[in-house]
Amino acid sequence: MNGISLRAAVLVTALAIIGGGAQAQVNFDDVEITTTDVGGGIYMFRPLNGDAEVGGNMIAAVGEDGVLLIDSNFEPMYAKTKAAIAALTDLSVRYLVNTHHHRDHTGANVHFGEDGTTIVSHETMRDVLAEGSINGLTGNVLPPAPEAAIPTLTYTEEMTLELQGLAAQLIHPVDPHTNGDTYVFFPDANVFVTGDIVTFGRYPNIDIAYDGHIDRMIDSVDSSLEMIDEGTKVVPGHGPVGDKTTLIEFRQMLAASRDRVKALMDQGRTLDEIIAARPNADYDQAMNVETRRIENWVRVIYYSYRPM
């Protein structure tokens, strides 16, 4: 199974964690990319089908000599992403940074790689993409990504990428969402890009099969809060642009959810009983979260402490 344990395959299949909408359920002809200028030559691309989010956010940072793109979304989004970039500049994409391996953030890598773009990631994320993975959207085993989709420039703890007039600091937090996460800070623009370590307006996905853990997600958010200030624009992996206050509220939700689930676990409740208790009903209602996401959020917290 390309180095992936059977246990991991069973776990994610059982959870059926939904990260951004399964590709097979989307008519990509209907998807529109909305562009938000977050300042300093940084733009967020958010693909939407009506009000429904399709895959993860992408970020285009426009330097004087090229573009740095963060994440590539699903493979069918390539042409629309290129068109969104062309609406900003006629410069080519020199770097594509992947925040993690999930295919709603890496699916179109192959086409950018074929264009000659340098694909960049944490070294662990590169290995997962090259070896094949468990699709966190469907629970299916995914084959290795095509060679052109595999990152050719990797790092271990930190890296800085530079274009003329633009610097991006890549930082690897330890196993919050996956074991190969990257967040990106643009100090001159004061823009912080989180990948799926942070989501606004919905519960995050913690990929237990790839070492994600609720405690480490909270720790990573705490580290992020130390890096930013009240003027920082925070671009999440999913959802609209936020700021430090939004990130603090997200952190409060993470901690409250964890504490509530752990309290029920300490009482000896089973997973099914905890799910039925709806421990996060206030957040469920405030975010208008569908039942599948409500239940999976409880599961990933539970399995952070009691692996299958």
Q: What is the DSSP letter of 255?
A: H
Residue 26 sits in a domain whose CATH number is 3.60.15.10
Is residue 1 situated within a structural domain?
A: no
User: Is 271 within the bounds of a domain?
Assistant: yes
What's the chain's average pLDDT?
91
In a domain, 125, yes or no: yes
For the segment 59-89, what is each residue's pLDDT rounded down to a tens digit?
Answer: 999 999 999 999 999 999 999 999 999 999 9
For residue 135, tell me if it sits in a domain: yes
Cβ distance 136 to 19 under 8 Å?
Answer: yes
pLDDT of 158-174, one tens digit each?
999 999 999 999 999 99
Q: Which has the closest alpha carbon to 134: 8, 237, 15?
A: 8
- Identify the band that residue 138 occupies on the pLDDT scale cut at 50, 70 and 90: low
CB 122 within 8 A of CB 99: no
- In this structure, is residue 281 part of a structural domain? yes
* Domain membership of residue 212 as a residue range: 6-305
Q: What is the pLDDT of residue 14?
A: 34
> H or E segment at 112?
helix 109-114
Percent above pLDDT 90 for the chain: 86
Domains in the chain, number: 1
Residue type, 63: G
